[in-house]
Amino acid sequence: ALLLLSHHDFVNRESRGCGARKKRVLIECACGPVNQPENLRTMIYWFTGQPGAGKTTLAIALRAALRDRGYAVVHLDGEFLRELMANRDFSETGRFRNIRAAQQLAAKLHADGIVVVVSLVSPYLRLREEFKGKG
């Protein structure tokens, strides 16, 4: 299963503020009950949004909340992936390459029974929709 989350789905800094309460509510909703059926225990959470919108902050908090509930969780962050792959190409081709790497790694980890939390700008709707269709 894939849950594609956009920072703007939950927080609009200008109109609603960006308080810890809203982040806590999001995390509690996303975690679900600990005793859920085995086939629903793993999921890919994909945070998208503009740079500086809070994707990584939310992803780190979600990862911690899931780990506290006993889930095996990996957080894939866009900046980390760029460093890991030595991809400093911010052209459309370079961005596609980075997003594809994140998608492939997330899918592999998910298939191995690990909950994956991704925080990545992901500016291309086509790639996001394509990946959601595989979930």
**Which residues are tagged catalytic?**
122
Nearest-angstrom CA–CA distance, 127 and 84: 21
Nearest-angstrom CA–CA distance, 76 and 118: 5
- Where does residue 117 rank: exposed (0-12), middle (13-18), buried (19+ CB within 10 A)? buried
E strand or H helix at 55: helix 55-68
